[in-house]
Structures are given as structure tokens and as C-alpha cells.
């Protein structure tokens, strides 16, 4: 995967786009990876994969604990301080 600085990517944006059609291109800012430029079809493929793995709203609701389920953690054992008003 090719690496471009932000400045270099700005100056040669057409080259970044052309290179991204072949393989992902990393753009760095202050020497650290900031973004990855990928071909549109690869982006769509990744979005489809993400959507396929994501639980549906119904699955999330059904996964919520009910009153019959044991609590997920023990309560904290402390006494609140007294406050004067």
C-alpha cells in the first residue's frame, strides 16, 4: 500500500485517485495514518460486509436483559455521604 503525505496527496490528487483504483492508498498527517483512499467498488463491498455483520434492531432489543435475568454486575457496596442543605 502506497503512503502519501497530506501535502503530497493534495498536490497529486489525480495520481492518488488513479493509484487507489489498483490498491488502497494511505494518506498521513504529521507522519501518522489519517485516511485511506480506496476504489468506490471496494468501499461499497466493505459497507455491505459491515451491514451483514451488524445485528438488526430487533436482535438488539431481544438481547436486552429482562427482569428474570441476573444482574450483569454486583452493586457497589458503599454508604453515601450525608449532605446538609
* pTM for this predicted structure: 0.60
- For each of the chain's 85 residues, which pLDDT tens digit applies? 899 999 999 999 999 999 999 999 999 999 999 999 999 999 999 999 988 888 888 988 888 877 776 666 666 777 888 888 8
Q: What is the DSSP letter of 36?
A: E
Q: Which residues are within 8 A (CB) of 10 and not within 5 positions of it... i.e. 6 or more apart? A: none
Distance, first Cα to last Cα, the chain? 64
Sign of CA dihedral 32, 38, 44, 50: negative
How many Cβ atoms are within 10 Å of 76's Cβ, its own excluded?
Answer: 5
Phi, psi of 7 (to 5 degrees): -60, -45
Segments in the chain forming alpha helices (H): 6-11, 13-20, 40-53, 57-62
**Domains of the chain, earliest start first:** 1-39 (3.40.1620.10)
Amino acid at each position: 500500500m502506497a503512503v502519501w503525505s497530506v501535502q503530497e496527496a493534495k498536490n497529486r490528487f489525480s495520481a492518488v485517485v488513479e493509484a487507489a483504483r489498483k490498491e488502497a492508498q494511505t494518506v498521513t498527517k504529521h507522519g501518522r495514518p489519517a485516511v485511506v483512499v480506496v476504489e468506490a467498488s471496494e468501499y461499497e463491498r466493505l459497507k455491505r460486509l459491515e451491514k451483514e455483520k451488524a445485528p438488526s434492531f430487533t436482535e438488539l432489543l431481544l438481547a436486552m436483559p429482562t427482569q428474570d435475568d441476573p444482574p450483569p454486575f454486583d452493586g457497589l457496596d458503599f454508604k453515601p455521604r450525608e449532605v446538609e442543605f
